[in-house]
Amino acid sequence: MTTFHRARSEEQRAVRRQSILDTAAGMLDEMPVAAVSLNELSRRVGLSKSAMSLYFESREAVLLGLLTEAAARYRDEVAETIAGWVDRSAPAPARARQVAARLAATFAAHPMLCELLSVQHVILEHNISVEVATGYKRSSRDAFHWLAARLGDLLPELDDERALRAAHMVIILVGALWIRSRPAPSLLAAFQADASLAFMHPAFTEAFEAAIGTFLQGLVAETAEAT
């Protein structure tokens, strides 16, 4: 544990905030999101809970900040390669499947992002002020539009509205399938003991690729029917 003195400049406050986020990220390597407590986080950072409130109003606000950072890292990484995700001479259904495969692989490579997305509605978006909620949702809005623009470039058959629907569904499916692919130990044992239950324990990458691939192909077909 590191003991900090009071941050007096904006630069010092930024360093302190980043230290808190980095410490929370380290805790997620050891435990599920639900087990991350403000008490333990403040102990590891070396600040009292009252001092922590100068930087984040709650545990959930810390984790939302971590989610925002993780999403930004994902976008920065993907931005370097996404233009080459598809064979642009291929028909739209084939490109939709190519996009689905790359989305599945890239999200699977960012487990903390997927973990946080899987609990954002049931855990992270509670116990926060309107100010924090507004800031987070505006950041999410911009991220949706960024992904929609990239999907529209890879699948120009989609209009703006359908590209945005596709981006939204990507995030919904990441969260839903990530948490379903990581059941509690008792459920995992049940799945392993009874083969008839195996379909209820999907592998994240395969399930996400199939689901978003089907959704993208459906949007392409829907657009074609509308024109």
Residues 138-175: tens digit of each pLDDT: 999 999 999 999 999 999 999 999 999 999 999 999 99
Residues 55-66: tens digit of each pLDDT: 999 999 999 999
Question: What pTM was computed for the model?
Answer: 0.90
Please compute the mean of the pLDDT values over residues 216-226 and round it to a whole number: 90
Q: At residue 1, does pLDDT exceed 70?
A: no
Pairwise CA distance, residues 159 & 150, whole Å: 12
Q: What is the pLDDT of residue 2?
A: 47
Please compute the mean of the pLDDT values over residues 63-90 and round it to a whole number: 96
* pLDDT band at residue 5 under the 50/70/90 scheme: low
Ordered by where they begin, the domains of the chain are 1-56 (1.10.10), 60-226 (1.10.357.10)
